[in-house]
Amino acid sequence: MTNEELKAYLQTWDDKLEFIEPVPDDTSLITVLDDLSGTWLNVEVPLSHLKGFMRQLHADKETAFDYLFNMTGMDWGKELGVIYHLESKRHGHILVVRARTADRENPVFPTMEDIWNTAHLHEREIFDLLGIRFEGHSNLKRIFLTPDFKGYPLRKDYEDDYMILRK
Amino acid sequence: MNMLSINIFQNWLNHTHGIWYVLVLAGIAALYLGFFAVAGLMLVYLERRVAGYFQLRLGPNRVGPWGLLQTIADALKLVSKEIFMPKFADKLLYKIGYYIVIVSSLVALAVIPFSRQIQALDINVGIFFVSAVSSVGVLGILFGAWGSRNKYSLIGAMRSGLQMISYELSAGFAIIAVVLMAGTLKMTGIVEAQKDTWFLFQGHLPAIVAFVIFIIAGTAESNRVPFDLVEAEAELGAGFHTEYSGMGFAYFFLAEFINMFIISALAVTLFLGGWLAPFGITDGLPAQWLWGMVWFFVKVLAVIFLLMWFRWTFPRLRIDQLLTLEWKYLLPIGLVNTVIMAFIVWKDWLIHI
Amino acid sequence: MDTTQVISTDQLRSQEYFLNMGPQHPATHGVLRLILKMDGEIVKDIEPDLGYVHRGIEKMVEFETYRQLIHVTDRLDYLSSHMNNEAVALAIEKALEIEVSDRIKVIRTMMDELTRLASHLLWWGVMGMDIGALTTFMYAFRDREMINEIMEQTTGARLTMSYNIPGGVMFDLHPEFPERVKKLIKHMRKVLPEYDRLLTGNIIFKKRMEGVGYLSPEDAVNYGATGPVARGSGVKSDIRKRAPYSAYDRVNFNEVLEQGGDNLARYNVRMKEMYESLNILEQLVDNIPEGPYQMPTRTLIKLPKGEFYQRVETARGELGVFIVSDGKKNPYRVKFRSPGFSNLNALLKVGKGWKIADLVAIMSTFDFVIPDLDR
């Protein structure tokens, strides 16, 4: 499906979805391009609707997103979030889903492990480096850093005078 | 020295007692120890050279002429290593492990006939003796691994125990096939019975099958590829000798090479005519004891080369595939082969050239 | 204890124990620690413990400029270093909307395929060593020497090339490059069937590989496996076909798919991919177009605001580079979607229930390079 069809289809599911238009804007980060096939459709989902939306994306036959090829944890300065890149092997379209939370003390996201098992290790990595907890994950532990490490290095406000010399 | 003087020596040995007797026996034992050490060194060097040629590179060729002193340099290095013991290791078992493998190899070496006159022990159950004693080597491996208190070593030793016990059976059936043709268990008797033709050709089909089974079982007995999962480096670190360093490791290493030598010597004695010259080429020459030894070593080196060729070509089997091979394939074939051989010997359908 | 009492067999248990396939292990191809829960020889559960080579690359590049960023990517999966560089270079070029000349595209593709060939040769050599055929290692490195020397003549480095830069390549091709590549192709076409015969027909090898480590196609997609791992299960996952970059749209090559899903299928995929690489090299080596080898770019590169994603096909699978830029000279966030990390996920599923020896064989066909996992 093309981006317009996908957008129209997804809008019938939920009207609270925010579709980010590829228009330059001072305050938002936008997607400009992808690998030679045009823009990828970006969608921002409120956190409370995320799990249901993802489940529907996976189960629905028209969209059939069965391949989660990237999960990126992001720190947007004030908010933390996750960006999911989904692809459908059957239809060939790509969707980028993002969700954010303003809670920096105790950010909690729903886990995608039961839908796409790729998320098992990716979520451990995001927890390790950014501190986002994933509810329902089978083994949420630090993966790269030692278990007694304090802090979450990828956050923008992470201070370490010994290891980080440049500012 | 000719045959007469060796006879005189043997007669004197059989009738002397007292201090001279003990000294001469000690001298012979020292000679065998010396042979053990030199053979071990030479075999290690040969293995590295042969490996080099299979892998399109030169082997060691710097230390000494053509690199012959390489293993001595290695031995010096091993001697200078720190001898340690893991803290929770069982002291007695850890230390006994490598002695047992060496002793069992040495004792098996005693009955190998190098030539008609050169043999330490010529007992009338020679083959049976060798088979029994080489099984004792397994105990050394198990002791060493259990004493090391290391999971990897233990896995390796368990695999080794299974492997050795299983393949003893197949080797035994191959040996029985030969004993049927020879009619005696005595080593010299077996070689003498091959005076006109080697057993490999005498027994035609069953002998060839027995030879193949013996080579396969022999490779498994000496823990070489494709049956070397006991010490599979890629999987277990170093298997049962992980926790050994310096001379302890060197003993295990040497014992493996001497085992290979013993298996080859057995194969040569049983199937390829022992010390006998093919077609009696050198039978008229003086110093027969020397010519016997020369032929014996040429044949043994040929079989050793075959075993080394296996090592550098094949991947290794998994433990359950190894046991399947033994119990489901080699053992039934060995049994049937023995029956066929018995039938052929009874009907005297052997080939004599 | 009353010795006359009969003990029923359900009172006799064997105990599960933990075996540490530790960071220093000959078979893990790097510092990977796997904690195996074993029952006898059978692996019941695998838990990875990564981080021994974690260098914090994603945090580190937030303080580096875009030109410096490329040279860091060499060290991710060092056996496909050229493709890592290319991913970032392509992302930056598309962000700045620079159109590279044909010569640059062809050079990049040829270097890609040479790197892929070298990586697969090393995989073959090490895999042989893992399962016990020790000679394959020597043969593979002898051939890899030829490729390393070709690389060294043009780029100056044998392993981590750092040859791609935003806007082109760093140096022009050495004049001897086409002949040496032709000689290499002739040599490889002669020896690859020999290597095939050494292992592929051998019954011991077949018993170690056939039927071991089955990964179904649905699982491959769900667990995120890419590259030869997924193609061995019949899943089409070649980025070179799906979204062609550089000169891949003008060469004829097949995407190698096998339906077996076991070790032997993954092995066959990589062996055939070596032949495909030779085909691509052959098609390109005689037709290298003339043109500039570097397009004019600014010295200090600043990407416009936005998010840029580039996918390339490395020897291990799909590498994704995700650059988030806020207009400054340092990137805001860079994420490397490494193929090995997701393949490790598939290993956790595939490895259960096999013996240690099988686990070693499965890991060798998955072909991990640990700096790729750890970043």
What CATH architecture is A3-103?
A: 2-Layer Sandwich (3.30)
Min Cα–Cα distance to chain B from C216, Å: 24
* Residue of C21, C126, C131 to mutate when probing chain B, most B C-beta within 10 A: C131
pTM of the model: 0.83
Q: Is B204 on the interface with C (CB under 8 A)?
A: no
Q: Which of C243, C337, C341 sits opposite A35 (nearest CB)?
A: C243
Position C26 scores a pLDDT of: 67
Average pLDDT over residues B165-186: 87
pLDDT in tens, chain C (375 residues): 455 556 555 666 667 778 787 777 766 677 888 888 888 778 888 888 888 888 888 888 888 888 888 888 888 888 888 899 998 998 888 888 888 888 899 999 999 999 999 999 999 988 888 877 778 888 888 889 989 999 888 888 888 888 888 888 888 888 888 899 999 999 999 988 888 888 887 888 888 888 888 888 888 888 888 889 989 888 888 888 888 888 888 888 888 888 888 888 899 999 999 999 899 988 888 888 888 888 888 888 888 888 888 889 998 888 988 888 888 888 888 999 989 888 888 888 888 888 877 888 888 888 888 888 888
Name residues 73-102 of chain C within 8 A of A (Cβ): 94-95
- Assess whether pLDDT exceeds 60 at residue A94: yes
Q: Which residues of A touch C309 (CB under 8 A)?
A: 34-35, 40, 70, 85
Say what the alpha-carbon torsion angle A118, A120, A121, A125 is, to the nearest 10 degrees. 120
Strand order in the sheet with A80-87: A18-19, A41-44, A94-101, A80-87, A67-75
Percent of chain B at pLDDT > 90 equals 6
Reported confidence tier of residue B336, pLDDT bands at 50, 70, 90: very high
Min Cα–Cα distance to chain C from A1, Å: 16
> Using an 8 Å Cβ cutoff, are B322 and B227 in contact?
yes
Tell me the Ramachandran region of residue B64: left when phi exceeds 0, alpha when psi lies from -120 to 50, beta otherwise: left
Q: Which helix (H) or strand (E) holds B132?
A: helix B126-148
| B323 occurs within a structural domain | yes
Nearest CA in chain B to C28: B234
Residue C220's alpha-carbon distances to C34, C176, C237, C259, in angstroms, are 21, 42, 10, 12
Q: Do C132 and B318 touch (CB under 8 A)?
A: no
- Of the two residues C356 and B308, the one the predictor is more confident about is B308
Q: Is B318 on the interface with C (CB under 8 A)?
A: yes
Q: Is A72 on the interface with C (CB under 8 A)?
A: yes
> Using an 8 Å Cβ cutoff, are C91 and C169 in contact?
no
Min Cα–Cα distance to chain C from A26, Å: 9
> Using an 8 Å Cβ cutoff, are C375 and C58 in contact?
yes
Q: Which residues of B touch C131 (CB under 8 A)?
A: 234, 315-316
Q: Do C356 and B155 touch (CB under 8 A)?
A: yes
Min Cα–Cα distance to chain A from C267, Å: 23
Domain end point (choices B51, B80, B109): B80
Q: Which helix (H) or strand (E) holds A68?
A: strand A67-75
- Assess whether pLDDT exceeds 50 at residue A26: no
B138 and B44 inside one domain: no
Q: Is C141 on the interface with B (CB under 8 A)?
A: no
| B353 occurs within a structural domain | no
Q: Is B41 on the interface with C (CB under 8 A)?
A: no
Q: Is C191 on the interface with B (CB under 8 A)?
A: no
Average pLDDT over residues B155-176: 84
| B352 occurs within a structural domain | no
- Enter the tokens of residue A82: 């996750």
For CA atoms B144, B149, B153, B156, the dihedral sign is positive
Q: Is C132 on the interface with B (CB under 8 A)?
A: yes
Please give the Cα distance from C231 to C316 (Å, whole number). Answer: 11
Mean pLDDT of chain B: 81
B110 and B53 inside one domain: no
Average pLDDT over residues B291-308: 88
Min Cα–Cα distance to chain B from C149, Å: 19
Reported confidence tier of residue B236, pLDDT bands at 50, 70, 90: low
All structural domains of chain A with their residue ranges: 3-103
For chain A, list the contacting chains (3+ Cβ pairs, <8 Å): C
- Enter the tokens of residue B352: 């004599």
Q: Which residues of B touch C41 (CB under 8 A)?
A: 155, 319
Q: Is C129 on the interface with B (CB under 8 A)?
A: yes
Position B335 scores a pLDDT of: 92
Position B302 scores a pLDDT of: 92
B66 and B111 inside one domain: no
Name residues 302-321 of chain C within 8 A of B (Cβ): none
Question: Which of C218, C214, C203, C231 minimizes the C-alpha distance to C358?
Answer: C214
Min Cα–Cα distance to chain C from A72, Å: 7
B69 and B198 inside one domain: no
CB-based touch A/C (3+ pairs, under 8 A): yes
- Of the two residues A92 and B266, the one the predictor is more confident about is B266
Q: What is the DSSP letter of A37?
A: S
Q: Is C235 on the interface with A (CB under 8 A)?
A: yes
Name the CATH topology of C57-342: Cytochrome-c3 Hydrogenase; chain B (1.10.645)
- Assess whether pLDDT exceeds 80 at residue B4: no
Average pLDDT over residues B69-78: 84
Q: Is C304 on the interface with A (CB under 8 A)?
A: yes
B76 and B131 inside one domain: no
Q: Is B102 on the interface with C (CB under 8 A)?
A: no
- Enter the tokens of residue C20: 């540490």
> Using an 8 Å Cβ cutoff, are B226 and C204 in contact?
yes
Domain end point (choices B33, B63, B80): B80
Please give the Cα distance from B77 to B75 (Å, whole number). Answer: 5
Please give the Cα distance from C132 to B58 (Å, whole number). Answer: 21
B134 and B147 inside one domain: yes
Min Cα–Cα distance to chain B from C171, Å: 35
Q: Do A89 and C221 touch (CB under 8 A)?
A: yes
Which alpha helices (DSSP H) does chain C contain, by range?
A: 57-60, 66-73, 81-96, 102-131, 135-155, 177-199, 203-209, 217-222, 228-231, 239-242, 263-285, 339-350, 356-366, 370-374
Q: Do C208 and B228 touch (CB under 8 A)?
A: no
| Angle C95-C100-C103 from CA coordinates, rounded to 5° | 155
Average pLDDT over residues A140-156: 86
B150 and B274 inside one domain: yes
Position C28 scores a pLDDT of: 64
B96 and B131 inside one domain: yes
CB-based touch B/A (3+ pairs, under 8 A): no
Q: Do B314 and C132 touch (CB under 8 A)?
A: yes
Min Cα–Cα distance to chain A from C224, Å: 5
Which amino acid belongs to residue B157?
A
Position C9 scores a pLDDT of: 56
All structural domains of chain C with their residue ranges: 57-342
Structural domains counted in chain B: 2
Position B235 scores a pLDDT of: 57
Domain of B151, in residue numbers: 84-347
Q: Do C333 and A143 touch (CB under 8 A)?
A: no
Nearby residues of B38 by Cβ (< 8 Å), 6 or more positions away: none
Position B199 scores a pLDDT of: 81
B166 and B32 inside one domain: no
Please give the Cα distance from B104 to B132 (Å, whole number). Answer: 10
Q: Do B232 and C25 touch (CB under 8 A)?
A: no
- Enter the tokens of residue A24: 């330059």
C331: cis peptide before it, omega within 30°? no
Helices (H) and strands (E) in chain A, counts: 3, 8
Position A38 scores a pLDDT of: 47
Burial of residue A111, with CB atoms counted within 10 A of its CB: 0-12 exposed, 13-18 middle, 19 or more buried:
middle
Question: Which of C317, C343, C309, C263 minimizes the C-alpha distance to C50?
Answer: C343
> Using an 8 Å Cβ cutoff, are B331 and B242 in contact?
no
Q: Which of C59, C320, C345 sits opposite A121 (nearest CB)?
A: C345
Nearest CA in chain C to B58: C138
- Of the two residues A42 and A115, the one the predictor is more confident about is A115
Domain end point (choices B23, B45, B80): B80
- Of the two residues C173 and A31, the one the predictor is more confident about is C173
SS3 C212: coil
How many C-beta neighbours within 10 Å does residue B212 have?
14
Q: Is C142 on the interface with B (CB under 8 A)?
A: yes
Q: Do C335 and A72 touch (CB under 8 A)?
A: yes
Name residues 17-46 of chain A within 8 A of C (Cβ): 24, 29-37, 40
Q: Is B321 on the interface with C (CB under 8 A)?
A: yes
Percent of chain B at pLDDT > 70 equals 91
Min Cα–Cα distance to chain C from B66, Å: 22
Angle at which helix B204-221 crosses helix B331-347, to 10 degrees, equals: 140
Residue where the block lists tokens 């896995």: B155
Nearest CA in chain A to C223: A118
- Assess whether pLDDT exceeds 50 at residue B186: yes
Reported confidence tier of residue B313, pLDDT bands at 50, 70, 90: confident
